[in-house]
């Protein structure tokens, strides 16, 4: 049985488990572009000085395009080589729509992941598709329109950012976002995450307590199971603490 190669670029196809249905014909990735130093510099300044959280988020999303390279292609390939990832790529469940159904989430048991996400979204005034839509609105390069697999994956990956907030109990402000950044870099060591984390830490190199917190968050990300390929749809009604135990995720609040 042929599997998707983990080398770049992707030329092969994915063969479904047990030989059912047709192979997944995944196009080769769009070539990456060089790191845009001036754009990166300007966006780093915007991230540090933007007067509100929304502007910081928009600058951070654009930043991931500006750093160039193949972005998260290695993350996509790792996802696509797992049995769960192949199943999800075939079925393409709509996580954005599911998390946008507030009535369904409110009907889930108290203490469940779904209810915790609903509380998180309402507390922060977030729409389920907010981060996904804002990501599309930035100058970040999108996957080829003829590549529905990567388009679906990156929307899902972006949507899961808020679920990672819930799983780790990291806040969406200040040091909470930085801790989640360290956790995310351990899970998916992309160039953009690394540069943003270095930027955040460079201004506080003598703050040993702050640096220890980022190291603790990074270690938590390393110890946790691979969250990228989690079929979140199946776990929304589970108790949040049980989902954390299932995937080895520890709370990393200060």
pLDDT tens-digit series, residues 144-186: 556 889 889 988 998 888 999 999 999 988 889 899 999 999 9
pLDDT of 17: 46
Residue 123 within a domain: yes
Is residue 254 situated within a structural domain? no
Q: What is residue 128's predicted lDDT score, i.e. its pLDDT?
A: 64
Is 220 part of any domain?
A: yes
In a domain, 12, yes or no: no
- Tell me the average pLDDT of the chain: 80
pLDDT (0 to 100) of residue 105? 95
- The model's pLDDT over 188-224, given as tens digits with 9 standing for 90+, comes to 988 788 888 888 888 787 788 899 999 999 999 999 9
% of the chain surpassing 90 pLDDT = 42
Q: In angstroms, rounded to a whole number, what is the distance separating the alpha carbons of residues 41 and 170?
A: 27
Which range (24-28, 49-53, 119-123, 214-218) has the least confidence?
49-53
Structural domain range at position 136: 28-247
Residue 125 counted as domain residue: yes
What pLDDT is recorded for position 48?
A: 73
Phi, psi of 194 (to 5 degrees): -65, -45
- Identify whether 157 is part of a domain: yes
Residue 17 within a domain: no
Helices (H), the chain: 37-49, 53-66, 73-80, 83-91, 95-100, 102-106, 113-124, 130-137, 148-168, 174-187, 191-202, 208-223, 240-247
Number of independent structural domains in the chain: 1
Asked if the structure places residue 15 within a domain, the reply is no
Q: What is the pTM of this model?
A: 0.78
Q: The tokens 């929307």 sit on which residue? A: 155
């Amino acid at each position: 049985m042929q599997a998707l190669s983990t080398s770049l670029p992707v030329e092969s196809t994915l063969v479904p488990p047990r030989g059912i249905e047709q192979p997944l014909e995944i196009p080769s990735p769009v070539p990456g572009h060089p790191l845009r130093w001036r754009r990166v510099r300007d966006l780093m300044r915007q991230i540090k000085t933007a007067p509100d959280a929304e502007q910081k988020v928009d600058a951070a999303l654009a930043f991931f395009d500006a750093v160039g390279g193949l972005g998260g292609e290695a993350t996509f390939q790792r996802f696509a080589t797992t049995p769960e990832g192949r199943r999800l790529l075939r079925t393409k469940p709509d996580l954005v729509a599911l998390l946008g159904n507030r009535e369904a989430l409110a009907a889930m048991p108290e203490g469940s992941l779904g209810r915790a996400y609903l509380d998180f979204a309402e507390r922060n005034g977030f729409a389920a598709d907010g981060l996904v839509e804002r990501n599309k609105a930035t100058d970040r390069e999108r996957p080829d329109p003829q590549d529905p697999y990567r388009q679906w994956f990156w929307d899902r990956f972006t949507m899961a950012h808020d679920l990672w907030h819930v799983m780790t109990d990291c806040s969406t402000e200040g040091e909470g976002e930085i801790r989640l950044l360290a956790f995310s870099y351990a899970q998916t060591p992309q160039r953009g995450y690394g540069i943003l984390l270095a930027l955040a830490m460079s201004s506080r190199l003598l703050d040993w307590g702050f640096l220890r917190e980022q190291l603790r968050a990074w270690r938590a990300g390393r110890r946790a199971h691979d969250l990228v390929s989690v079929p979140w749809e199946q776990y929304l009604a589970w108790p949040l603490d049980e989902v954390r135990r299932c995937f080895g995720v520890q709370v990393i609040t200060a």
